[in-house]
Amino acid sequence: MPSSTTTSRTVRIIPLQHPTETTSSSSSSSSSSPLPFSLWLSNLRRMTWLEWIELFFPCCRWIRTYKWKEYFQIDLMAGITVGVMLVPQSMSYAKLAGLQPTYGLYSGFVPIFVYAIFGSSRQLAVGPVALVSLLVSNVLSGIADPSTELYTELAILLALMVGILECIMGLLRLGWLIRFISHSVISGFTSASAIVIGLSQVKYFLGYNIDKSSKIIPLVKSIIAGADKFSWPPFVMGSVTLAILLVMKHLGKSRKHLRFLRAAGPLTAVVLGTVFVNIFHPSSISLVGDIPQGLPRFSVPRAFEYAQSLIPTAFLITGVAILESVGIAKGLAAKNGYELDSNQELFGLGVSNVLGSFFSAYPTTGSFSRSAVNHESGAKSGISGIVSGIIMTCALLFLTPLFEYIPQCALAAIVISAVIGLVDYDVAIFLWRVDKKDFILWAITSTTTLFLGIEIGVIVGVGASLAFVIHESANPHIAILGRLPGTTVYRNVKQYSEAYMYNGIVIVRVDAPIYFANTSYIKERLREYEVAVDTSTRRGPEVERIYFVILEMAPVTYIDSSAVQALKDLYQEYKLRDIQIAISNPSPEVLLTLSKSGLVELIGKEWYFVRVHDAVQVCLQHVQSLKGGSNISQSSHALSEDRSSFYGRLLKQAGENLAISDLESGNGRSPLSMDKDPHLEPLLSKEH
């Protein structure tokens, strides 16, 4: 290894390995196709027949390793618990969607069995959910009257469209698109939607109809306008039922030995309400009414002439499915110690919606509350979902005559108790303390959803989220680095106040990929750093201006052609002002791009270094020579006379120049005296 010897110590510089023609050609061929997709294809080619079966039928993974004696009883109890919770909830959510309760039962029938086969999560509980039901009601009520058959046909058609979209996104592995929507946007959207859902159910408590809207102001106006029609019996019954549900949920969450109360709450509300109505027969309390008995028949979805108008809603519900279901499923998988592919999970949800639409189901997805109950009940596999489906089958075959006397205010109380937990005020407080930008996103999304409607709220929230992503990408963090005393480590001088810099040298680290969107910002910041020189924490030879700019490129994972051109322009500007650029620690991909573009030859291979410390020691020697009267171009010319023997030239100059530690301190003391000062340590010790 090349070295430069002083009277007191050896200084070593690690040579940077530049790409050769062979590595360039192999790297370019390997990067010609997108890496994740090419890896996925290569993995498919290596798969065995058993892995192919598990790919299309994920249930085979847990069936092969299922311990019947240990797990079956646990899954049986978990499935019964969730099934008891699902029956009343599905009827409640169907009413929220503007459909007859029987379609909620249908939506909790076929999709559950299908998901148990094609879904990859072992704890996710699939079926009707409040947020999707609100989206269905909000969109379809503008196309058809909820009391007409067309409304029901559109809801079933929407399930087919959502299922197809989910299958396509799963097969094309497009689940990553949803990563651009931040958690604060999701939280703001669900919080506002929960408030709208709760207000829309208040009519069953008050005893009179209110206008159907997804905006809070029309809902509040309608509630106030009809106050003269207020009825006490449904209000008292609904309030008592809601109080019972909330108490049972709280006890189920706070005490482990009473956790069955959380799942039994909806059933308790339905039973108590039905018993009360059958005993007292109050005329002012509206009932569910007749529900057809029996399983749904196979039928092909109709009303395809309205499909085009439903496409935006289908995309919206698909997005909600990815955000809610896949997020829940991945969290449950991590807690239970198995891996889950989000794209495969999306495909499973899609198949359950597609097949469910042929049996009169409206769009379904994973439920947060029922999945939590399933997990807390100890569910180990999809058998718990099959048991829940059997409970729903029994309800459709034998119990529908009893559902006729369920008070609607009891179903409304079930919905309200479910959505109260979706109002994430705790998240808002946390975001305000931790990150004001995320709180602004939360506030923008929730406010627009409340006052302008769900569709506009989603658009604004996603747009704001993308705008923040673009802003952060176009304005990356850039740090000036200084050396930590007693080490050869360089860190951000704002984070480490003890770090010091060297006169004539500025070390800059760009903490992001460099591409067309942020090149202008990076160039502006580099110009600022060149002018704004803080001499209070600088050491070394005393010079009046900057002669070297060292770019630490370890965090730069990618650089495009626009960034290459910007670096070329910057190099030419610096050359006119007698400033030299040095590049430190570029990744192989970045170095390959710079080499192909000619930037390595333009700047000079001798100005590319493995470490910041190597670049600093070379620049320090040049600063010393510049102090003696030469300029940077002359020094660079002398350096480039024999690039292959660059490190040998340093060896020859070692006897003529001061020791490296002398250059650091700028005081010309002997190396022996400087060893006593911990702030004037050598660039590298002899042992290294």
Tell me the per-residue pLDDT of 104-128, one tens digit each, with 9 for 90 and over.
999 999 999 999 999 888 889 999 9
Measured over the CA atoms of residue 619, residue 622, residue 624 and residue 627, the dihedral's sign is negative
127 pairs with which residues across the strands?
Answer: 365
**Res. 21: pLDDT tops 60:** no
Same-domain check for residues 273 and 330: yes
Of the given ranges (55-69, 197-211, 392-406, 514-528), which has the lowest mean pLDDT? 55-69
In a domain, 681, yes or no: no
Instruction: Indicate the helix (H) or strand (E) that contains 480.
Output: strand 478-483
Average pLDDT over every residue of 228-239:
92
Residue 272 lies in a domain: yes
14 occurs within a structural domain: no
For residues 366-386, average pLDDT: 88
Q: Which amino acid is at 644?
A: S
Compute the half-sphere exposure of residue 643: CA atoms within 13 Å on the CB side of its CA: 11
Query: HEC profile for 130-163?
Result: HHHHHHHHHHHCCCCCCCCHHHHHHHHHHHHHHH
Instruction: Look up the domain containing 522 and give its range.
Output: 478-628
pLDDT at 100: 93
Are 468 and 664 contacting, i.e. CB atoms less than 8 angstroms apart? no
Together in a domain, 533 and 599: yes
Integer CA distances (angstroms), 224 to 2, 207, 208, 394, in order: 85, 13, 11, 42
- The residue among 567 and 676 whose pLDDT is bigger is 567
Average confidence (pLDDT) over 633-641: 49
Number of domains composing the chain: 2
Q: Percent of the chain at pLDDT above 70?
A: 85
Is there a single domain that holds both residue 117 and residue 208? yes
Q: What is the mean pLDDT of the chain?
A: 82
The last residue of a domain, from among 432, 449, 470: 470
Q: Is residue 15 part of a domain?
A: no
Domain shared by 282 and 389, yes or no: yes
Q: How far apart are CA 459 and CA 454, in angstroms?
A: 9
CATH of the domain at 614: 3.30.750.24
| Same domain membership, residue 510 and residue 394 | no
- The number of angstroms, rounded, from the C-alpha of 538 to the middle of its chain's C-alpha atoms is 42
Predicted local distance difference test score (pLDDT) of residue 631: 56
Instruction: Give the Cα separation of 4 and 192 in Å (integer).
Output: 67
In a domain, 50, yes or no: no
Q: What is the Cα–Cα distance from 140 to 151, expressed in whole angstroms?
A: 7
Same domain, 443 and 505: no
- 533, pLDDT greater than 80: no
* Strand pairing report for 125-127 and 365-367: antiparallel
Q: What does the pLDDT read at residue 340?
A: 81
Note whether 234 and 284 are within 8 A (CB): yes
pLDDT attached to residue 674: 37
Least Cα distance to 218 among 480, 474, 451 occurs for 451
Q: Please indicate, yes or no, whether residues 418 and 329 belong to a single structural domain of this protein.
A: yes
Q: Which of 70-74, 385-389, 673-677 has the lowest mean pLDDT?
A: 673-677
In this predicted model, which residue has the larger pLDDT, 220 or 43?
220
For residue 637, pLDDT over 70 is answered with no
Rounded average pLDDT over 610-618:
91
Q: Which residue has the higher pLDDT, 661 or 111?
A: 111
| 351 and 393 housed in the same domain | yes
What is the structure's pLDDT at 323? 74
Q: Tell which of 470, 492, 519 closes a domain.
A: 470
Which of 123-137, 224-238, 252-266, 307-321 has the lowest average pLDDT?
A: 252-266
Q: Match 């704890």 to its residue by tokens.
A: 123
Residue that finishes a domain, picked among 628, 652, 676: 628
Three-state DSSP string of 497-530: CCCEEECCEEEEEECCCECCCCHHHHHHHHHHHH
Closest by CA to 472, choosing from 441, 449, 451, 496, is 441
> Residues 524, 624: one domain?
yes
Query: What are the residues whose beta carbons fall under 8 Å from the beta carbon of 196, sequence distance 6 or more?
Result: 134, 214, 215, 216, 219, 449, 450, 454
Look at residue 434 and tell me whether its pLDDT is greater than 50: yes
Q: Phi, psi (5° rounding) for residue 12?
A: -120, 140
Tell me if 601 is assigned to some domain. yes
- Categorize the per-residue pLDDT at 97 as very low, low, confident or very high, splitting at 50, 70 and 90: very high
Instruction: Tell whether 57 is covered by a domain.
Output: no
Same-domain check for residues 484 and 459: no
The model's pLDDT over 469-504, given as tens digits with 9 standing for 90+, comes to: 888 889 999 999 999 998 999 999 999 989 988 888
Whether residues 318 and 426 share a domain: the answer is yes
| The residue to which tokens 């108008």 are assigned | 309
Q: pLDDT band at 84, cuts 50/70/90? A: confident
Residue 264 and residue 128 share a domain: yes
- pLDDT, average across residues 227-235: 92
Q: How confident is the model at residue 358 (pLDDT cuts 50, 70, 90)?
A: very high
The pLDDT tens digits for 670-688 are: 333 333 343 344 443 333 3
Q: Is residue 108 part of a domain?
A: yes
Residue 29: pLDDT above 70?
Answer: no
- Tell me the average pLDDT across 599-604: 91
Cα dist from 421 to 62, 206, 227, whole Å: 32, 22, 28
Query: Looking at residue 663, what is its pLDDT?
Result: 47
